[in-house]
Amino acid sequence: MANNDRRSSGFSRRDLLKGSGATAGLSALGLGAAAAAAEPDTRADAIDLRLINGRILTLDGKNTIASAVGIRDGRIVEVGRSVGRYARTIDLKGATLIPGLIDSHNHIYWSFRNPAHEARAIELATSIPEFLQAIVELARTLPAGELITCNGGWSRKGMAEKRLPTLAELDRAAPDHPLWLTENQTEDVWIDPKKNPPLPSLTNSRGLAFFQKQDVTGDPATGLIPWVESTAALQKLQTEEDRKRSIDNAIDFALGLGVTMIHDFGDGATSDPSLESKYPYVLDLWREKKLKLRFRLRISAEGGTLDGLKARMLNGINRLGDDVLRLNGFGEGIGDGTDKGFVDAAKLVASRGWSVHVHSVSVGKPGDTSQNVAHVEGYRAANAEHPIRNMRWSLAHVNYITPELVQALKEMGAGVTGDAWQYTSDLEQVPMGPPWRMLVDSGIQVGGGSDGTGTAGFNPWLTIYYMTTGRINSGEIGNPGQTISRMEALKILTKGSAWHSFDEDKLGTIEIGKLADVAVLSDDPLTVADDKLRKVTSMLTLQAGKIVHQTRQF
């Protein structure tokens, strides 16, 4: 099916590309490509589109590379060297098309919580000039006085100069805008912030004055400002309009990278379990059928009581939602983390048939697998009473997991997800995991994510770069012997992640019958140089065949 060839259909490429009616239909899309000579589909919700003359990486079981794909009513109906007549045509002009990327472990919610504009392009900076240029380019688009932030996803170790920008440099980059820029915080901060104080944030002169008005004092010589106090001040200032803008910007950023679905874990353990309180605007967009990015939401139940956990399930509906937004179970944790409370929680969740995705990365010296061991044993105990094979249970991060533990998970039908959380870490932590090569070779179901933002970058191409080169953002090898091919990495970030949300039959590959979530890329991810691999973007992103992102290249 993947190589369906329509060359014998009785009409030529010239026949397909002529016709004023189809050209008018394409003009409505804002694209300049020629269109097929076919009557336009007048149904408001209809998708009748073909993408031609591309390099289409289907990521199917045979790694088929096609040239054209046909889409009707949001689904893929043809894949091959050519396809039939459609109301609209987009000429890819040789560009590479892939299934939309799926981030299986993300905290996009953290990008919703400040009243500012995020300069996420800073994640790609490898020098102070590149860092400053990301700020300059965003500042050009904003009215004077608007706050610019970047919360996590970068570190000074990734700069050639191995330092932070100076106050004077930041003042020159954004003389009219206050700044709030925060390096990745370490995992230790989230566990015990008193023992492991968080890194300070960085601001400029406009920012020092801005935060002074909020009773937060920074260092006038360096621009460093307390992270905890400045974070609280920003969240206190955020308005409903700020929140909506932040959500829109975060979604657009993801779509611009070719991400079409995110598994979101909110802010981890929280005293407020209400999804409505975290995602009001996202839920509004979903209800209005305007949500451009697919969401799979997880409920955190770490540190709670068994009665509370039971109430969450009894008063909820397992996997409630649709293909655009759906509740996907529990994560990052359940119970007390690793002790008896975790085992009891795992048994309870298994008895109700809910999915679980547990944060499983020991904080300590490299090679520490104590959390992995505890979680696998908890899964085994639950599986003995209530088989979990069809519940899509998984462990996240698994930086030092062993082949024996992976095999135990695989035998239960569980999976793992890895990410580039270590991308901005210190080299003294080598090996830095996850052990990608071992995971792929084991045959277990592997999903890929970013763990952005806050402790990691949001950009999935940084994850792919890390998976395939083993290099951290300083350019040094941090994961020796565990690299995988680019094709394997793409499959992990597409069909692999789709498995973890019960979506593998609908998403993750370009095959007939699947939803038409695709991204047309700025470069071919299989052949582009390593340094440019980190900088791949999407020129055109579709959700179920509808354009949700496009750039001037088209």
Each residue of 302-315: pLDDT tens digit?
777 899 899 889 98
| pLDDT above 90 (res 434) | yes
Portion of the chain with pLDDT greater than 70, in percent: 88
Mean pLDDT along residues 388-411: 96
Please state whether beta strands 75-80 and 88-91 pair in parallel, antiparallel, or not at all (unpaired). Answer: unpaired
Phi, psi of 158 (to 5 degrees): -85, -5
List the alpha helices (DSSP H) in 55-203: 128-139, 167-173, 187-191
Structure tokens at 379: 């899964």
Q: Which CATH superfamily is domain 1-100+509-554 in?
A: Urease, subunit C, domain 1 (2.30.40.10)
Pairing of strands 325-335, 148-151: unpaired
Distances in Å between the alpha carbon of 449 and those of 58, 168, 393, 460?
Answer: 20, 36, 16, 7
Q: Identify the band that residue 21 occupies on the pLDDT scale cut at 50, 70 and 90.
A: very low
pLDDT mean over 328-346: 88
Q: Which two tokens stand for residue 202?
A: 């960085």
Average pLDDT over every residue of 319-342: 90
Q: Residue 93 is encoded by which pair of tokens?
A: 């002009």
In sequence order, what DSSP letters do the residues of 373-427 get, joined into one string?
Answer: HHHHHHHHHHHHHS--TTTT-EEEE-TT--HHHHHHHHHHT-EEEEE-GGGGS-G
Per-residue pLDDT at 20: 31
Using pLDDT thresholds of 50, 70 and 90, give the confidence band for residue 19.
very low
Instruction: Tell me the average pLDDT across 535-543.
Output: 98
Handedness of CA 159, 164, 168, 174 (dihedral sign): positive
Mean pLDDT, residues 360-386 taken together = 89
Length, in residues, of the chain: 554
The rounded Cα 245 to chain-centroid distance in angstroms is 19
Helices 403-412, 370-385: crossing angle, 10 deg rounding:
20
Task: Over range 479-505, report the average pLDDT.
Answer: 97
Residue 30 has pLDDT above 60, yes or no: no
Residues of the chain with CATH 3.20.20.140: 260-507
Above 60 in pLDDT, residue 36? Answer: no
What is the pLDDT confidence band of residue 189, given thresholds at 50, 70 and 90? low
CA–CA separation, 286 and 234 (whole Å): 27
- 263, 106 contact by CB (below 8 A): yes
| Stretch among 308-322, 362-376, 531-545 having the lowest mean pLDDT | 362-376
- In this prediction, residue 41 has a pLDDT band, given cuts at 50, 70 and 90, of very low
The DSSP call for residue 93 is T
Amino acid type, 251: I
Look-up of token digits 């084991």: 442
Handedness of CA 519, 522, 528, 531 (dihedral sign): negative
Predicted local distance difference test score (pLDDT) of residue 188? 65
Spatial CA neighbour of 150 closest among 454, 465, 473: 454
Task: Give me the pLDDT at residue 10, please.
Answer: 31
Asked if 426 contacts 532 with a C-beta cutoff of 8 angstroms, the reply is no
Cα torsion 205, 206, 207, 210 to 10°: value is 130
- pLDDT for res 266: 72
| Start-end of CATH 2.30.40.10 domains in the chain | 1-100+509-554
- Across 50-64, 99-113, 353-367, which has the greatest mean pLDDT? 50-64
Please report the pLDDT score of residue 3 as a whole number.
Answer: 41
Which amino acid appears at position 444 of this protein?
I
Q: What is the pLDDT of residue 361?
A: 85
Q: In what order do the strands lie in the sheet with 446-449?
A: 357-360, 394-397, 415-419, 446-449
On the question of pLDDT at 8 being above 60, the answer is no
* Least confidently predicted of 260-269, 312-321, 395-404: 260-269
> Where is average pLDDT lowest: 27-36, 51-60, 95-104, 451-460?
27-36
Q: Please report the sign of the dihedral spanned by the C-alpha atoms of residue 282, residue 285, residue 290, residue 296.
A: positive
pLDDT of residue 468: 98
CA 70 to chain centre: 27
On the question of pLDDT at 89 being above 90, the answer is yes
The SS3 of residue 96 is: strand
193: pLDDT strictly greater than 80: no
C-alpha 76/C-alpha 70 separation (Å) is 6
Cα–Cα separations (whole angstroms), residue 205 to 138, 208, 214, 296: 18, 5, 15, 40
Helix (H, G, I), strand (E, B) or coil at 357: strand
pLDDT at position 517: 98
Asked if 478 contacts 430 with a C-beta cutoff of 8 angstroms, the reply is yes
Q: Which of 432, 433, 431, 391 is nearest to 409 (CA)?
A: 391
pLDDT higher at 363 or 295: 295
Mean pLDDT value of segment 328-340: 86
Number of neighbours of residue 187 by Cβ within 10 angstroms:
18
Rounded distance, CA 265 to CA 104, Å? 10
Beta bridge partners of 75: 72, 515
Are the C-beta atoms of 543 and 517 separated by less than 8 Å? yes
pLDDT of amino acid 12: 31
Residue 39 has pLDDT above 90, yes or no: no
**Residues 244-292: tens digit of each pLDDT:** 999 999 999 999 999 999 999 875 544 445 677 778 889 999 999 999 9
Evaluate whether 444 touches 423 at the Cβ level (below 8 Å). Answer: no
Give the pLDDT of residue 422. 85
From the candidate CATH numbers 3.20.20.70, 3.30.950.10, 1.20.58.100, 3.20.20.140, the one assigned to the domain spanning 260-507? 3.20.20.140
Check whether 159 has a pLDDT greater than 50: yes
β-strand pairing of 96-99 with 55-57: parallel
Whether residue 90 is predicted with pLDDT greater than 50 in this model: the reply is yes
Residue type at position 284:
D
